Structure 1
Amino acid sequence: MSEMAGIFDEYMIMIYCLVVLWINLGYLHDQPEEARGIAELSPAEDLAIKQDSLPMLTLSLAFNFSRRWLFYMLASIVTGSLLVKALSVTLFAVSLHNSMPRQKTSVWKRKRKRNLGMFLAIADAFFITGFLIWMIWT
Structure 2
Amino acid sequence: MLDTPRLAHDMAVNGGHVDHVAISLPADDGRLSDATWRQLVYEAVVSMGFSRRRWVAVHHGRSAQGNDHVHLVVNLVEEQGQVANTYRDWPRWRSWCQQTEHRMNLMPSSPGPAAMPPAEPRSTAPSGQGTT
TM bucket, shorter chain:
under 0.3
Higher helix share: 1
Higher strand share: 2
Greater Rg, structure 1 or structure 2? 2
TM normalised by structure 2 equals: 0.28
TM normalised by structure 1 equals: 0.27
